[in-house]
Each structure stands twice: as structure tokens, then as C-alpha cells.
Amino acid sequence: MDRRLLRLAAAAFSLAAAAAVNAPASASSGPAAAATLTAAGAGAFTCAPPRLTAPEGAVVESVTATAVAAGTFQVPGTPPLGGYPVADVPAHCEVTVTLTHPGAADRARVQIWLPESGWNGRFRAEGGAAYAAGNIGAVAAAVKQGYATATTDAGVDTGGLDSSWALDPQGRIDRALLQNFASRSVHEAAVVGKQVVGGVYGRAASYAYFNGCSTGGRQGYVEAQRYPTDFDGINAAAPGINWNQFEVATLWPQVVMSQEHTYPTGCEFDAFNRAAVKACDKLDGLADGLVSDPNRCDFDPRRLIGTTVVCDGKEYTITGADAEVVRKIWDGPRDSRGKRLWYGLPVGADFSYLAASSTTDGVTTGVPFTVPAQWVAQFVQKQPGFSSANLTYPQFEEIFRKARAEYDTVIGSRDADLSAFRDAGGKLLTWHGDSDQLIPTAGTVDYRKRVEALMGGARKVDDFYRVFLAPGVAHCGLNDVDDLAALTAWVEHGKAPDVLHATLPTADGRTVAREVCRYPMVSRYTHGDPDAASSFRCVKS
């Protein structure tokens, strides 16, 4: 895998595990401890295979339990999706449950890690990223925080960026594995995970939470939509909902460049973003490198026509064709009649992931991002060698509609009826970066609006579902955020969050503390230190 693809892959992977990367590398976890451990002050802690009732439609093929001493856990795989250490993981019990479904020949592995001591009484499940259904690195990090934590590989995990499992040997969609990945396996992980908690600790967890970003965010929404009693609280960031729309739509930049016969350099794309941020920065009352309300940013890329930029010592002049490519990418895909199909790349988001290209012998071609390219090749076209680099506008529209027709009910994850989740007392919290370069932020807003329209308006929906849009933040890139703490306070103490405390990256490379406002509120500068969160307040957009 070349350096560019590694960078792209890193963006696709949920950053839920990234917090653990900061720990220094050391030896892997120590040898297994005794088979039965006792947690101080918590009654009997039994690290042994518990008796399980299989989830409906599934069969428990095997259950194993291993007691593991404290140490450093080396996440399996290779960088950037694996191959990093999680230091100071406490002594814990690792229970692995393998599930299968009659007639499917699948094997979905659920892993549950339970701290020997210091359990906080809560069960937590971790979601995946790209084509990975789970995240064992995030499990290790969560156990350090005192959670009994589960994740699942859905029977499909081959590193996160490999969807070769999509087709069976006859070239047909493997429906069982797709169902596992789309919805079934996280639910089953919740069902067996709670049973494992009861078996190991001798009592049930007081609360159950789900945590995930990207694919993990989509999984959280599916839980709220289809399995509303699995979790008391769901933290679903930068969610990959509206799956078919956004997956196919993220190929739009490649279609535009190919059809317009214009491939701007990365330096030229960056120039458009810098100009847009500069033009719209002061709309929130302060020029601080953050656009707090992108919806008010009406920067016209044609304003840059004729200006020059210097990249690696070479001078480029922005042309009308360059500006038109940027305009269409920001605008998003439209059909032959001009009707919007989905949303475009947010203004200010990095172009290099979805609008990548390469030049060989003077010929420039597009380089589609691997996740949507695989979705179209493997699932929609059912041709592993299919290339999305040179689609025409009509071909793109045909693929867009074909994907929706075949897969919306399977993995669309866009059902706006959350009434059962609301009635069960569940709370759903989402944050999404306004500069998400992989999943258009507008898609999350679109979903929230549809829930409001169906369920009685914003105030009623706010009782159980809140969205926070983070200025300047890329995909799964919100740092130092208190999202899980806010969700816990909401679920366990009824304190609904109006803001999330976080650190935001500015356009000039700084980081600043901010309160991320609850949608539809946006941040406005009032007075005082521009770098202090207290100098801003949330107002109506």
C-alpha cells in the first residue's frame, strides 16, 4: 500500500481507537493469569465461559474465556488500521463468542473484555469503520476506563478496507455477510455481551452504551432504528447513514474532473479552500480561522480565476475550468434535469481524499477513494475490477439509482422513525465535523430534519436526539471532546447537553477550546479573549 493510500485509509478508519495510540510502545500483554479471578469489593468475578442463550436466528458455535494480566495490548494488523499499542490495559477477562446462522456458513466473532477490578457497572459496545464492523483497539481503550466492552467482526473483517467478502464464489452478493455488516451483528453483540457481563460479574450492567464513528456511527443509528432497546445511550459520530447516497456521491468529484477534463492540483484545491475560509471567517464576529456557520458562506470559486498559486516552485494560474470543477464538487451530484441527488463536499473540507489524481507520462487520471470505489465495484456492479475513475454523468446517475434500489432497505440506515427508541427512554447523541471530507455533514442534518418532520418538531426530538456540528473538524477528528461524559449525564441524570466541550483546529494550524453548539445553534463571538471558549455563545443560525 503506497503512502497516499495509507493516508486515505487512515481517514476512513474510526478515530475511536486513536486515543490509545498516544501510549508508548512496549511488550504485548503478559501471560494469561489464573482462570478465575476475584475483583476487589465486587463479589465473585468468574473468568469462565458463561451459559448463553443464542440471539434469535443465530446459533452459538463456541464460547471461550481467557484471563489476561495487565500490560500493553498490541492491536493486530498493520498501520494505519492496526499495528499500534494500547498501554496500561488492566487485568481483564477476554470472552470470545462465535455465532453462526443456519444455512449461511458464516462465523461472526464477538469479543467482550471485562476488567478484573474497577468495573464501572456499565456495558459498552464499540463500532467499526469503513468495511470493518468492529474495533478491538477501542475495546482495549474502553476497558482502561472501566467499561465491560464488546465489539464484533460480523464475520467480514479483513482489515477494514477490504470488501472482498461481498461476493460469493459464484459472483453473487453474500446476503448473510451483508446482513451481518449492515445490521445484525451489532445487535447480536449487544445480546450476548450483556449475558457475558452477567455471567462474569454475577450481576447485570446498570447501563448499556454504544460508541462509534463513521461506520460505527451508522451502526449506532441502525441500533436506534431497528433494535431500540439494546442501548440506553448511543454516541454516533460522523455517521455513515444515508449509506447509498453518500457512498456513491463521494465519487462525484472524480466524475466531475473526468467529464470536465480538468484535474486541479492539490495546491490549487487548497487555494480555493483558503479563499473561502478567509471570505467567510468573519461571519461569526471574529476572524479566527473557523467558519462557525458554513450555511452562510456563499463564496463563489470564480473569484479566483486569473490568480496564481505556487506549488513546489511551480506557478499555476487558476482557470475558469478549475473554478467550475470546484463549484460542481461543492454543489454536489445532480441528475440530468439538474435535480440534486445528494450533497457535495463541504466548503473548507480537504479535497485530497475524494478528488485525488495522479499523473504518469503527462497523462492525468483520477484516483477514486477506495471505500466508495469498492462499494460500487463489489456491491453495485458486482465486478471487482470495475473502475470508477472515468464515469460519465449518465453512468454515475444510473449507478446512484441502482444502488438505492437494491440496498436502501438493507443498509440505507435512513429510517427517520425513532419512536420506539424514544419510547424506550434511549438517548442518541451525534457530533459531525463541518469540514468532513468523507461523509457530507449535510446528510446528517438532512436526517435530523426528517426525524423532526415525522416526530413533532425540534423541541420534541431534542428530548432524546441531539446533533452537534463542529466547525473546522474533519472526519471523526473532533479532539478532547466530552461526548461520552455528556451522554452519560443525559442517560443517568437527565441532564441534556446544550454544548459539547472540545478542541477545534483552525485554518492557521492552531487549536482552540470551544463549546460546540447544539444544532441548529451556531457559535458567535461576543467579547473577550478570542482563544477562550467563554468569549462565544450559541445563537440561532
Catalytically active residues are: 214, 436, 475
- The answer for residues whose C-beta is within 8 angstroms of residue 3's C-beta and 6 or more apart is none
**Residue 341: what are its φ and ψ, rounded to 5°?**
-90, -40
For helices 320-331 and 252-260, the axis angle rounded to 10 degrees is 150
Q: Are 238 and 213 in contact (CB under 8 A)?
A: yes
Element (H, E) at 397: helix 393-411
**Residue 412: what are its φ and ψ, rounded to 5°?**
-60, -35
Say if residue 520 is preceded by a cis peptide, omega within 30 of 0. yes
Q: Are 389 and 366 in contact (CB under 8 A)?
A: yes
- The answer for residues whose C-beta is within 8 angstroms of residue 81's C-beta and 6 or more apart is 9, 10, 13, 129, 132, 159, 160, 161
List the beta bridge partners of residue 92.
68, 115
Distances in Å between the alpha carbon of 367 and those of 251, 357, 370?
Answer: 10, 5, 9
**Residue 98: what are its φ and ψ, rounded to 5°?**
-105, 125
Q: What sections of 170-292 are H helices per DSSP?
A: 175-179, 185-201, 215-226, 243-249, 252-260, 266-280
Q: Is 85 exposed, middle or buried (0-12, 13-18, 19+ CB in 10 A)?
A: buried
